[in-house]
Amino acid sequence: MKRCKKFGYFLLFAGIILFFNGCKTSRSTTSIALSKMGKEERIESIQYQSIPFNTLSSSLRFSIKPGMKKNATTVNAQLRIIKDQIIQLSLRIPFLGTEVARISITPEQVIIIDRFNKRYVSESMQTLKERTSFDFDFYSLQALFTNQLFIAGKSSISLNDYNSFNWDEDKFLVKLNNTDNQGIHYNFVSDFTNRIIQTEMYKNKEDANVNWSYKDFGLASNNRLFPMKMTMELTVPNDLVTMNLTFNAVDIDADFKLDTTIPDSYQPMEIEQIIKLIHSI
């Protein structure tokens, strides 16, 4: 089955989690009507509500359920982000807290460390593009994890970018969407709070559809609201992968450094091993 290569990033991410062992288009449950705004003012308000950060960190519960399996695989995790530099997810054994895997993604590189089997993958983004035909986009993934409006391939949105969004509103919901040069559609849904409650990505919904939803907004350490629950659904023909992230306390702008060192004793692993697993999903 031929899939759009931009979805490879999300397939790869889901496949990595599965290797280490939900929500479709939703409607707002509130009956509070939107305030009256024009397009630019609405986008500016959505931008204002997104949480500002230089670093972001939180412990969380991470679960993933592939296909029609009844039970999800659930682990403890630690998410840490240094803005525009690195996203790192550390997976840990419940109760014991021992790290079993670490995924580090930068604009230039992906490093996966499997501590349980003492092996690793280290690939440049360019090599991954050439070997897998996946068009990786670090900044879009960063925006999805931090509840941000984004334009694929761009690290930030300026006033000049507002015209690239189509805009539609009913009484309760705002819908912003744009399309990149590969024909991938990005739909962003906001409610009366002017916060993004859903981001959807697809080229042809019959082939693949990524839906990332946000709820249970709570205070982060800087007293700004952040979605404490996120659900990602990846839908492909005859299959579905659901990821749930439940955050604990979200710490903004803490001072930390992230380790991407690979132990000398670990054996290299080919990225194709993960790609095969992804295709088996």
Angle between helices 125-132 and 271-280 (to 10 degrees): 50
Q: Which residues contact 158 (CB under 8 A, 6 or more apart)?
A: none
- Which residues in the chain show pLDDT less than 50? 1-6, 18-29, 277-281
Is 25 a domain residue? no
Read off the pLDDT of residues 175-226 as tens digits, 9 standing for 90 and up. 999 998 888 899 999 999 999 999 999 888 777 788 999 999 999 999 999 9
d(CA 91, CA 37): 43
How many domains in the chain? Answer: 1
Is 122 a domain residue? yes
* 147-148-153 Cα angle (round to 5): 130
Is 235 a domain residue? yes
What pLDDT shows up at residue 131? Answer: 65
Which residue has tokens 């659904």? 233
d(CA 89, CA 116): 16
Contact 103, 92 (CB under 8 A): no
What pLDDT shows up at residue 53? Answer: 97
What pLDDT shows up at residue 16? Answer: 53
What pLDDT shows up at residue 281? Answer: 36
Both structure tokens of 275: 């790609």
Taking alpha carbons only, the member of 88, 59, 80 closest to residue 254 is: 80
Is 24 a domain residue? no
Is 181 a domain residue? yes
What pLDDT shows up at residue 235? Answer: 84
Contact 123, 136 (CB under 8 A): no
In angstroms, the Cα distances linking 36 to 40, 169, 173, 194 are 12, 10, 12, 12
In angstroms, the Cα distances linking 12 to 33, 46, 81, 191, 205 are 39, 29, 19, 31, 19
What pLDDT shows up at residue 168? Answer: 93
- How far from the centroid of its chain's Cα atoms is residue 279's Cα? 20
Both structure tokens of 131: 């070997």
d(CA 83, CA 22): 27
Question: With 0-12 CB in 10 A as exposed, 13-18 as middle and 19+ as buried, what is 134?
Answer: buried
Is 101 a domain residue? yes
Domain that holds residue 66: 5-19+30-274
CATH number at residue 88: 2.50.20.10
Is 165 a domain residue? yes
d(CA 150, CA 48): 13
Question: With 0-12 CB in 10 A as exposed, 13-18 as middle and 19+ as buried, what is 59?
Answer: middle
Is 109 a domain residue? yes
